[in-house]
Amino acid sequence: MIKRTIITYGTFDLFHIGHLRLLQRLKKLGTKLIVAVSTDEFNNLKGKKTLIPFEERIEIIKNIKGVDIVIPEKSWEQKASDIKKYDVDIFAIGDDWYGKFNDLEEICEVLYLERTLGISSSQLKQNIKKSKIKETSK
């Protein structure tokens, strides 16, 4: 296998099968998989509220088979510097971000991967909210 380094970024809140399948697919693309996990502070800047604290989310990712390096994601701008720092060959992210990172094609290959159908952290949060509403209305 040709040595290739892959990098991806995400919040990875409420870790689920879609996250696992994404990381498994990415690992098959290369020999080294780097995962950047969004910090709570960065998520606040993006207007995202996580249920699982950063320290726990990063610990989960560090313990996933096939993940070689885990780093914090603190800003939008760090992607290009991470790609250069870690000599990344492929930047990959879910296709819900399609076209948003095409500027990185100047320094590496950019892949937008199809999401796992029927599952997302946002959907899980909505389901939790609905189940709480049902419980309180009983």
Express each pLDDT in 36-80 by its tens digit. Answer: 999 999 999 999 888 899 999 999 999 999 999 999 999 999 999
The model's pTM: 0.84
Active-site residue flag, 130: no
| CATH code for the domain defined by 5-136 | 3.40.50.620
Active-site residue flag, 79: no
Catalytic residue (one of 28, 46, 74, 84) = 46
Q: Label residue 86 exposed, middle or buried (CB < 10 Å: 0-12, 13-18, 19+).
A: middle
Quick one: pLDDT at residue 49? 87
